[in-house]
Copies of this chain bind each other. A is one copy, B any other.
């Protein structure tokens, strides 16, 4: 089945907003085993929209159009859809009623121009939008089924998942029960993950499990898309594959599905009624900034200290400056972690001291990271070298620190080597 996407709107065409709706839709369709073949971006212009609808209607089996369903004069999707399909626009009484209820429930008055949102091509099939006033709809133009969606991301997402993907799957003839299983890893490069997982899909010989990746440095997301007759079938197929992925990626899996690294750390601390204090230097508050604001962190995150200068660190922790003078080392990180744990009474203290190389902000320089975790049952520390510009080193240091804390809390080796560092 050939699927195309048409994104409309001057804000997207002029680059004023980055087209995240396109990447979201393409990615989500891939997750369900559907592929986009062509993307088009056009502005709020009648002739360009008409040309785009007609071209896609000649080439594709299904077309998703995003944007242009709003109440203002530059929202043209219904009008041009009707023109391309050769039908009239008619007032849809059901949707008008829905909109009036929508405003009434929010104690707001519906303005006259909102009525435009209930003017739909006469042959349109309605696609429900339970959280907005833009009415989604479907109709045929040329040889393709067109699905019209709102530009507001959360309305689009819900409509795509609840209304459009089931219709596309039904049209493609594929089994409509689909499940997406996700693993988040840190410390392995994408090609390394790819290589480690080679052949894992073949544990289910009928081809109903598909493997994919997505990199958000420094994390990699591994995705298993599983198709089946129904959920029990999917779970039966998924079980051996997900067990194998867990076995092969092992300690490098930081979280699964909607979990995050910082959420896993927070939950592990909360589960043991623990608390956390963090000391950081070059990362400048960004380690604390990943965790301290999370819901639930108010009970766990005790204190964070930031300083660029070791003498300031010593002063803030009431340490003898001589103890942390000189070149940074694992021992100094340990001294600092012990001191901050004593000072704050936190069950766990994380100290992350980074020395950035002198020299230009270039890929062939880097930084040395010394980190230590102090807890009641002892102390662990490690040293790591990351090469890259200042921002790269900073991102890497934040992730490494949170991951070492996760490993400590999960009784995994804190010093296991990652692909991102050099000795």
Contacts and interface: CB of A to CB of B under 8 A. Distances in A.
A415 interface: no
A284 B295 contact: no
A303 B312 contact: yes
Contacts of A22: 15, 19, 41
Interface in A289-323: 289, 291-293, 295, 297-298, 301-309, 312, 315-316
B39 A293 contact: no
A25 interface: yes
Contact of A285 (B289, B295, B361): B289
Nearest to A40: B40
Contacts of A394: 293
B297 A308 contact: yes
Interface in A12-55: 12-20, 22-28, 30, 35-43, 48, 52, 55
A287 interface: yes
A30 B13 CA distance: 10
A26 B42 contact: no
A36 B27 CA distance: 25
A295 to B, nearest CB: 7
A92 interface: no
Contact of A288 (B18, B40, B303, B306): B306
Given A286-B293, A304-B304, A13 B39 contact: yes
Given A291-B284, A306-B304, A14 B35 contact: yes
Contacts of A28: 15
Nearest to A213: B16
Interface of A: 7, 12-20, 22-28, 30, 35-43, 48, 52, 55, 214, 278, 282-289, 291-293, 295, 297-298, 301-309, 312, 315-316, 343-344, 361, 390, 394
